[in-house]
Amino acid sequence: MEPPPQSELHEKLGAILEICQKMNSERDLGALLDLIAREATNLLGCDRASIFLLDAGRHELWSKVALGSDEILRFDASRGIAGTAVMTGKTVNVRDAYSDPRFYTAIDGQTGYRTRNVLAVAMRNQQGEIIGAFETLNKHAGSFSQRDEESLGALASHAAIAIETAQLIGELRRSQDELARQNANLWREVESKYSSHGIIGTGQRIQQVVRLVERIRDSLVNVLITGESGTGKEMAAKAVHYTSSRARRSFVAMNCAALPETLLESELFGIERGVATGVNPRMGLFQKADGGTLFLDEIGDLSLTAQAKILRVLQERVLERVGGRTPIPVDVRLLAATNKDLDAEIAKGAFREDLYYRIKVIHIHMPPLREIREEIPLLANHFLKEYCRETGRGVMEFTPAVIRQLINAPWPGNVRQLRNEVMRLAACAPGNVITEDDLLEGLPTLRKPDPKPAAAGRTASLKQAIEELERRMIGEALAETRQNQQQAARRLGLSRQGLINKMKRYAMAE
Ligand SMILES: Nc1ncnc2c1ncn2[C@@H]1O[C@H](COP(=O)(O)OP(=O)(O)O)[C@@H](O)[C@H]1O
Ligand SMILES: [Mg+2]
């Protein structure tokens, strides 16, 4: 064959370069394949061009049926002219398709196209691995020349790299989408875990809390949560945060009682550079919670100095780091909790009244477990299920007698203690049914609901011990109901007259 003139060669190379530039800016695989096919038909002056990509796992070649179409053609990787190029890695130039035994006529049958001549080259990635074949069909004038073979070869080597890049980007996008989807699912899980519905309890006292959390979901008011230790104050705070519009911003918690006064300020507000040698600048919790929620647990334990500083941040919405001069703006929603009676603290001068009103825009009170004993079966079963789920153990259950004991135990540590006891019981129980035997072995605190009468039992008669227990329970019930005899009697399972009789017998003030 005649060597082509230099000018034609230059022209071809220039055209290929131009095509490469276009290919490199196309990241979508479908669009890229269309672009390459279109450019190849122009470059080689032919009717059609197809790219067959190798699906090595299935030993198949696949291709889009036609330009702009999404229909896919698939066939065994060793078939046809394209298959021959892929299998041998060589250029295949066929001048009369129908007289060549390697030609795969079924494809024409499928596409309704009549192939006269075919030129196919293998496509290799940068590692030299064959990733498919590039095929051109029906040269407009005559058949494909050696020059065409070279042009297609050059184009194919660039196309392979662009295609592989687009494939990688496609995979990255897919895994990114997958991650985003998983992330959204995790968020949904977190939200449902801490949504107000994660607060277990069907009785009026707990439902009041749930309804209140729901009612304030659209506002960002400060909330004070009171209750004894272990009653679910932090859980309620998370419910408030995770049902609010700030759910996806941070929830930062700090226990004010856990830090000495000297560290508290830098922990809350941060430290500026150069305060003292060896002290690193640090961001405080207020700044970490910026845009989100700061939960100050045990706020009743804050010193008056710290209270004044927090009040200032709440009023002015700016803070100053320790040793810092420039105020830093912060946008923080404050949730606070305490097991102290803040009214009494204010009366003693230990808590600032102005701060109290700032944090107590809404007040949520978590009842002690002994006042909501009706929730114990539900809570105990909930924690047992949680244990089984987390440890992957089969379903476990309590006997009714165990539930009765749980209902009657004193629970000074409230729901937290109940949860711990259930976890311990479940871990110690040999079988899947937790019986009273397991209680006796694993639960000394439940076996001796009240240390005092039990101790008395060793030294005094049963009658004395029972009297002592009755006296104490009546005293507690009256204290909890603020001396309301009707309520105290109901709580003790007595009639009002029954209670009064016992109070007379024990010489308790009426
Ligand atoms: N009503 C409730 N429903 C479900 N779990 C609860 C409930 N009340 C408390 N808990 C659980 O009891 C434990 C102690 O609660 P927490 O919020 O830390 O109490 P507090 O902050 O008042 O000391 C946590 O594991 C919490 O999830
Ligand atoms: Mg707590």
Both 440 and 456 in a single domain? no
Both 289 and 264 in a single domain? yes
From residue 457, give the alpha-carbon distance in Å to each of 60, 392, 460, 463, 473. Answer: 85, 42, 5, 9, 16
Using the atom order of ligand 1, give the atom closest to the CA of residue 227.
22
Beta strand pairing call for 60-64 and 46-55: antiparallel
Location of structure tokens 């007259």: 497
Reported as a single tens digit per residue, the pLDDT across 38-78 is 999 999 999 999 999 999 999 999 987 666 566 778 899 99
Of 313, 341, 367, the residue that ends a domain is 367
Both 403 and 360 in a single domain? no
Reported as a single tens digit per residue, the pLDDT across 355-376 is 999 999 999 999 999 999 999 9
Reported as a single tens digit per residue, the pLDDT across 317-353 is 998 887 878 889 999 999 999 999 999 999 999 999 9
Cα separation, 200 vs 375, in Å, equals 8
Question: Residue 63: inside a domain, yes or no?
Answer: yes
Any idea which of 77-86, 96-105, 268-277 has the lowest mean pLDDT? Answer: 268-277
Ligand 1, atom 25, lies closest to the CA of 416
- Report pLDDT for 448: 43
- Report pLDDT for 291: 95
Please, what is the Cα angle at 279 between 273 and 282, to 5 degrees?
60
Ligand 1 pocket residue status of 416, Cβ below 6 Å: yes
Question: Residue 196: inside a domain, yes or no?
Answer: no
Question: Residue 182: inside a domain, yes or no?
Answer: no
Both 349 and 301 in a single domain? yes
CB 336: neighbour CB atoms within 10 A?
27
Cα separation, 308 vs 302, in Å, equals 10
Both 316 and 431 in a single domain? no
Ligand 1, atom 16, lies closest to the CA of 232
- Report pLDDT for 454: 40
- 415: CA distance to ligand 1 center in Å? 6
Overall number of domains in the chain: 4
Question: Residue 178: inside a domain, yes or no?
Answer: no
**What's the domain range around 221?**
202-274+282-367
Question: Residue 150: inside a domain, yes or no?
Answer: yes
Using the atom order of ligand 1, give the atom closest to the CA of residue 201.
1
What's the CATH code of the domain at 62? Answer: 3.30.450.40
Ligand 1 pocket residue status of 419, Cβ below 6 Å: yes
Q: How confident is the model at residue 266 (pLDDT cuts 50, 70, 90)?
A: confident
Ligand 1, atom 23, lies closest to the CA of 230
Using the atom order of ligand 1, give the atom closest to the CA of residue 238.
17
Of 416, 447, 478, the residue that ends a domain is 447
Sheet containing strand 46-55, strands side by side: 72-76, 60-64, 46-55, 130-139, 118-124, 92-94
Ligand 1, atom 8, lies closest to the CA of 232
Both 360 and 218 in a single domain? yes
What's the CATH code of the domain at 427? Answer: 1.10.8.60
Question: Residue 192: inside a domain, yes or no?
Answer: no
Both 443 and 457 in a single domain? no
Both 154 and 64 in a single domain? yes
- Percent of the chain past pLDDT 90, that is, above it, reads 55
Cα separation, 273 vs 279, in Å, equals 8
Both 230 and 340 in a single domain? yes
Of 367, 386, 407, the residue that ends a domain is 367
- Report pLDDT for 68: 58
Both 82 and 218 in a single domain? no
Reported as a single tens digit per residue, the pLDDT across 225-255 is 999 999 999 999 999 999 999 999 999 999 9
Cα separation, 481 vs 94, in Å, equals 99
Ligand 1 pocket residue status of 415, Cβ below 6 Å: yes
Question: Residue 441: inside a domain, yes or no?
Answer: yes
Using the atom order of ligand 1, give the atom closest to the CA of residue 339.
22
Both 140 and 222 in a single domain? no
Question: Residue 438: inside a domain, yes or no?
Answer: yes
What's the CATH code of the domain at 341? Answer: 3.40.50.300
pTM for the whole thing? 0.57
Instruction: Extract the tokens encoding 385.
Output: 């299920």
Both 77 and 38 in a single domain? yes
What's the CATH code of the domain at 461? Answer: 1.10.10
